[in-house]
């Protein structure tokens, strides 16, 4: 039986049931620290890759098209690449990180940490957002320098950036936590990344795609993520900003719910 | 000296009382059938009291890890109940994560975390506040003798040190139930002792420690009670001494066979035997001690065996009798 050591003599305590806003907030802060520390070796590399990739894609346009590329194309590209900057960590690297933990059989160790799923997802969102913004800014600076674009930055850029980042992060979280097979998860997010760059009107106008692919993209979030940034950065043509907001919010909410469910799912 | 009462992350001061009453972990009729029809747990019933180190022994695939994963809320039981005091842990898995600490069999994902940071962050996630967690973490680092790696990244740790760090992460601000799945894996013999000391201290402080192991010899020294599980069923339960009652008049003859030697013809007085590597373990009656020594010497003379030892039966013999398997681990020192 237990020895009566007396609680007051212990310099530590047993964890107790917690709930409420204080519990959520302390969980958010500690999970944020956990995520940042867990990725301290990777985050600088991710940011550098983002900067190089963003600048590279923008500059590539001038190498592909001799002389002065069409203004509309340049502005499309300049507003589209930041979408990739903002989703890359959450949508591509995030699921791969989870897949690594699954492959190493250490996924359960983090899954049993006693914090609300929403706080854990919110902390991860904060990390992906912070890691995506430098790449986005770098891309815009390079685009402004190389093509002399005068970005007409609207105050709505802030909610637009937050929305674009949250949708990419939650889609990635849903894939990472929802797909149990690490190999499928890894290949899946790479395929999605390729699909976004090549087959969605993120970096180019929708009318370059066949009608059926345009129809598919209407219900996918990527075209709308691009539209949100384009509308707040370049005042470029956006068909229906309200619809874009709605689609991005719907995808974010659905995927956040799916991710939270998958994190708590019992086999 | 009386320690200052810590304040938890939610702002509550003071310590949770050591749950010496009402905090018993009750597992009743626990059954788990996986989707492909494999029956991993078959109506298991057991309880673990506060202050008790309870061992779950069984061969690989016996259903030990499946059982503890249901306690912590990673698996959904097919049938049965799991209660901690008044709390229904099956209905409220989020409560299970708060009230139970779990060291999985696999290593913790701490590649980029420094040792002290991994321990302290886990403590804070579990509800402890900074200074109290820091104090406790430093105490564990010292007690487990992992100070030389205090500032090292997890990726640079050996398997044994990483295991100890995982233990410290789980126990820095422990749940009322502390579940340890093979905690001594890869840990060197000296630090194993330190680990067992800390496990005992946890129990003395009022934790219910549920220890999963297939290292029978270690378990015999460390647990207060234990259950032997095989193929999902509870084969026996009791204290190590009570489980050896049936073998009280028996002795254990251990013969180290020459490498690659086949099991020799066994005399009729050998009641049971098992082989693990080159170690042949035979259970005999006390009255056959002299005959068994003669037999062992003959084996050595024929270069079939290198050495032998005769001693009292251990929990391992009970385990072999119950499961028909040999414990493959080396004894802890």
Q: Tell me the mean pLDDT in the region B102-120.
A: 94
Residue A152 to chain B, least CA–CA distance (Å): 41
CB B111 to CB A38 under 8 A?
Answer: yes
Please name the member of A1, A3, A39 whose beta carbon is closest to the beta carbon of B49. Answer: A1
Confidence of residue A30 (pLDDT cuts 50, 70, 90): very high
Q: Specify which residues B44 forms β-bridges with.
A: B30
Residue B159 to chain A, least CA–CA distance (Å): 13
Terminal alpha carbon distance of chain B: 33
* Per-residue pLDDT at B230 exceeds 80: yes
Cβ neighbours of B324 (radius 10 Å) = 11
Residue B14 to chain A, least CA–CA distance (Å): 8
Residues of A in contact with B121 (CB under 8 A): 30, 33-34, 37
Mutate to test the interface with A, among B53, B75, B98 (most CBs of A within 10 A): B98
Instruction: Dump pLDDT digits (tens) for B234-269.
Output: 999 999 888 888 777 889 999 999 988 889 999 999
pLDDT at A10: 54
Domains of chain B by range and CATH?
A: 25-242 (3.40.50.300), 249-312 (3.30.70)
pLDDT at A5: 35
Residue B218 to chain A, least CA–CA distance (Å): 20
Which residues does B177 contact at the CB level (< 8 Å), separation at least 6? Answer: B25, B48, B71, B84, B99, B100, B101, B207, B208, B209, B210
Confidence of residue B326 (pLDDT cuts 50, 70, 90): very low
ipTM of the complex model: 0.86
A-to-B residue pairs, Cβ atoms closer than 8 angstroms: 185
Burial of A1: CB neighbours in 10 Å, binned 0-12, 13-18, 19+: exposed
Q: Tell me the mean pLDDT in the region A42-48.
A: 92
The crossing angle, in degrees rounded to 10, of helices A117-147 and A157-178 is: 130
Q: d(Cα B106, Cα B114) in Å, to the nearest integer? A: 18
For chain A, give the mean pLDDT.
Answer: 88
CB A15 to CB B95 under 8 A?
Answer: no
For chain B, give the mean pLDDT.
Answer: 87
Chain A (157-176) residues lying within 8 Å, Cβ to Cβ, of chain B: none
Residues of A in contact with B50 (CB under 8 A): 2
Is the CB of A16 inside 8 Å of chain B's CB atoms? yes
Q: d(Cα A84, Cα A229) in Å, to the nearest integer? A: 11
Q: Tell me the mean pLDDT in the region B174-199.
A: 94
pLDDT at A4: 34
Q: In what order do the strands lie in the sheet with B53-57?
A: B100-103, B177-181, B208-213, B53-57, B225-230, B233-238
Q: Where are the beta strands (DSSP E) in chain A?
A: none
Flag the least confident range among A9-23, B64-78, B96-110, B300-314: A9-23
Higher pLDDT, B78 or B248: B78
Residues of B in contact with A6 (CB under 8 A): 18
Chain A (18-57) residues lying within 8 Å, Cβ to Cβ, of chain B: 18, 20, 22-23, 26-27, 30-31, 33-34, 37-42
């Amino acid at each position: 039986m237990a020895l009566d050591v007396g609680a007051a003599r212990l310099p530590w305590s047993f964890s107790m049931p917690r709930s409420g806003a204080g519990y959520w907030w302390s969980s958010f802060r500690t999970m944020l620290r956990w995520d940042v520390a867990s990725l301290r070796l990777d985050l600088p590399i991710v940011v550098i890759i983002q900067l190089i990739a963003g600048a590279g894609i923008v500059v590539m346009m001038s190498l592909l098209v001799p002389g002065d590329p069409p203004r509309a194309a340049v502005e499309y590209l300049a507003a589209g690449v930041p979408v990739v900057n903002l989703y890359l960590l959450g949508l591509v690297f995030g699921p791969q990180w989870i897949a690594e933990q699954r492959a190493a059989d250490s996924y359960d160790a983090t899954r049993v940490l006693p914090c609300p799923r929403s706080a854990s997802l919110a902390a991860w969102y904060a990390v992906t957002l912070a890691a995506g913004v430098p790449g986005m800014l770098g891309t815009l600076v390079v685009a402004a320098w190389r093509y002399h674009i005068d970005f007409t930055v609207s105050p709505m850029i802030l909610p637009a950036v937050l929305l674009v980042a949250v949708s990419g992060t939650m889609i990635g979280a849903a894939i990472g936590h929802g797909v149990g097979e690490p190999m499928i998860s890894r290949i899946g997010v790479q395929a999605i990344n390729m699909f976004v760059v090549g087959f969605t009107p993120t970096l180019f106008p929708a009318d370059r795609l066949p009608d059926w692919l345009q129809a598919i993209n209407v219900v996918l979030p990527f075209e709308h993520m691009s539209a949100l940034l384009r509308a707040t950065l370049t005042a470029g043509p956006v068909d229906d900003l309200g619809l874009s907001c709605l689609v991005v919010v719907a995808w974010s909410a659905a995927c956040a719910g799916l991710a939270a469910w998958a994190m708590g799912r019992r086999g | 000296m009386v320690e200052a009462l810590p304040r938890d992350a939610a702002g509550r001061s003071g310590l949770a009382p050591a749950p010496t009453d009402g905090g018993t972990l009750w597992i009743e009729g626990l059954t788990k059938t996986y989707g492909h029809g494999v029956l991993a747990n078959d109506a298991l019933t057991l309880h673990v009291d506060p202050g008790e180190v309870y061992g779950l022994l069984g061969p690989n695939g016996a259903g030990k890890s499946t059982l503890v994963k249901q306690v912590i809320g990673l698996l959904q039981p097919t049938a049965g109940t799991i209660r901690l005091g008044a709390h229904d842990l099956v209905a409220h898995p989020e409560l299970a994560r708060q009230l139970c600490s779990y060291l999985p069999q696999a290593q913790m994902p701490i590649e980029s975390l420094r040792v002290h940071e991994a321990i302290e962050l886990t403590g804070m996630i579990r509800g402890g506040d900074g200074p109290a967690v820091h104090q406790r973490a430093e105490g564990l680092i010292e007690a487990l003798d992992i100070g030389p790696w205090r500032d090292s990244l997890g990726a640079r740790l050996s398997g044994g040190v990483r295991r100890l760090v995982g233990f410290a992460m789980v126990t820095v601000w422990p749940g009322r139930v502390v579940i340890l799945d093979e905690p001594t894996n890869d840990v060197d013999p000296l630090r194993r002792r330190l680990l067992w000391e800390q496990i005992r201290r946890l129990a003395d402080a009022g934790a219910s420690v549920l220890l999963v192991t297939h290292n029978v010899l270690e378990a015999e020294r460390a647990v207060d009670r234990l259950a032997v599980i095989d193929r999902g069923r509870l084969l026996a339960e009791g204290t190590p001494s009570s489980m050896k009652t049936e073998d009280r008049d028996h002795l254990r003859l251990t013969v180290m066979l020459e490498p690659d030697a086949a099991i020799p013809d066994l005399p009729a007085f050998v009641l049971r035997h098992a082989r693990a590597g080159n170690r042949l373990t035979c259970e005999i009656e006390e009255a056959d001690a002299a005959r068994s020594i003669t037999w062992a010497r003959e084996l050595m003379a024929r270069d079939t065996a290198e050495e032998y030892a005769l001693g009292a039966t251990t929990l391992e013999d009970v385990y072999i009798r119950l499961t028909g398997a040999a414990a493959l681990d080396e004894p802890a020192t």
